[in-house]
Amino acid sequence: MRPQDIEKRSFAIITAELGERTFPDGVSEVVKRVIHTTADFDYADSLAFSPDAVGQAREALASGATVVTDTNMALAGVNKAALQALGGRAVCYMADGAVAREAGARGVTRAAVSMEHAALLDGPLIFAVGNAPTALIRLHELIAEGAVSPALVIGVPVGFVNVVEAKELFIGGQTPYIIARGRKGGSNVAAAIVNALLYQLIEREGF
């Protein structure tokens, strides 16, 4: 089978296995792409979306948003050609020397400091956190301080320590979010969500 046919068949299987489950406009594409990436149907229930999160994200991406990731793995997984076609870009400060030095001097994680550096960027920002709960916690603090107002927070860190608590900080809040409740997640999930949003714009809106 051709690569595009394999993906098409995979999504057909996912749709069939979801049965009569339905999702709001735009949400379905995100849920199915995450399941496609992970082969884990639990995401059909654990992914939480703030009202109109997908619409707000699409608007930000169409305006040339910067996608900030907390790992270079997530950065690598984002379809940068699609993002650049919309005038956007993707960045990750985890390997930045200045971030590492500052984190060491302050005794905090590089993930937290990387969020502080990203908060200084201009234009609409989408944060895609797939690994570090400390990044999500610091981002929540920065929002509360008025230092940044993200167009969307994708909160899908994976693990056991502070992961669930970090995610729950955003549930029901004013900042648009897509959160994977519970312990599951990962950099691949974060990138999959970004790509699902990008593909919607390209396929639906003609970008």
pLDDT digits (tens, 9 = 90+) for 177-191: 999 999 999 999 999
Catalytic residue among 18, 23, 36, 102: 36
pLDDT digits (tens, 9 = 90+) for 88-133: 999 999 999 999 999 999 999 999 999 999 999 999 999 999 999 9
Active site residue 140: no
Contact indicator for 175, 150 with CB cutoff of 8 Å: yes
Distance, in Å, from the CA atom of 126 to the CA atom of 105, rounded to the nearest integer, reads 28
In the chain, % of residues over pLDDT 70: 98
The CA angle 44-57-6, to the nearest 5 degrees, is 50
Distance, in Å, from the CA atom of 145 to the CA atom of 120, rounded to the nearest integer, reads 13
